[in-house]
Amino acid sequence: MDLSVSMSYVDDEKFVLTNRSGNNLLVDMYKEDEKKHLSPMELLLSALTSCAAVEIVSMIKKRRRDFKDLKASSIGYRVEKPPRYFKSIEIKYFIYSSDLTIEEAERFISLSLDKYCSVGATIRKDTIVKHDFEIIRD
């Protein structure tokens, strides 16, 4: 199944993207203190983090484990010279569950990031994607 988006110019550092359903996304490249929206590289990091998250939640529920919440914190490290691609990405997931085991969490996150997530599979092979997690019991 193919995907499509259309883009329109708003100003030199701001664009609006629209998908087939007509949903909009604003993206800007303003400086940190002037930003209102995410930048393209932040979108890429967000896409990877959330793509795997959907699979993680789905696997926890299929395994009939308690699920209360899921959070994540992701960092992308860029090479110094342009084009400053991500040389490595670190994602830490925080899973709120009373009975999910450490082994299950590790397996679900690995499978999601390495096997099922389409965004992860579209990233260059030499970008190192590391993950970590914490299970919160209360």
Q: What DSSP assignment string belongs to 23-46?
A: -EEEEE---TTT-SS--HHHHHHH
Using the rule CB under 8 A, is 122 a contact of a copy of itself?
yes
Using CB under 8 A, which residues numbered 3 to 32 contact a copy of itself? 3-9, 12-13, 15, 17, 19-21, 23, 25, 27, 29, 32
- Which position among 59, 100, 109, 117 is part of the footprint of a copy of itself (CB under 8 A)? 117
Work out how close the CB of 120 gets to a copy of itself at its nearest, in angstroms, rounded to a whole number: 7
- Which position among 62, 71, 130, 136 is part of the footprint of a copy of itself (CB under 8 A)? 71
Using CB under 8 A, which residues numbered 80 to 99 contact a copy of itself? 82-86
Using the rule CB under 8 A, is 53 a contact of a copy of itself?
yes
Q: Is residue 113 within 8 Å of 129, Cβ to Cβ?
A: yes
Q: Is residue 70 within 8 Å of 111, Cβ to Cβ?
A: no
Using the rule CB under 8 A, is 135 a contact of a copy of itself?
no
The whole-angstrom distance between residue 135's C-alpha and the CA centroid of its chain comes to: 19
Pairing, β 14-19 against β 24-28 = antiparallel
Residue 93: strand pairing partners: 72, 133
**Total number of residues that touch a copy of itself (CB under 8 A):** 71
- Which position among 66, 78, 101, 107 is part of the footprint of a copy of itself (CB under 8 A)? 78
Work out how close the CB of 41 gets to a copy of itself at its nearest, in angstroms, rounded to a whole number: 5
Give the separation between CA 28 and CA 36, rounded to whole angstroms. 7
Work out how close the CB of 106 gets to a copy of itself at its nearest, in angstroms, rounded to a whole number: 19
Give the separation between CA 87 and CA 50, rounded to whole angstroms. 19
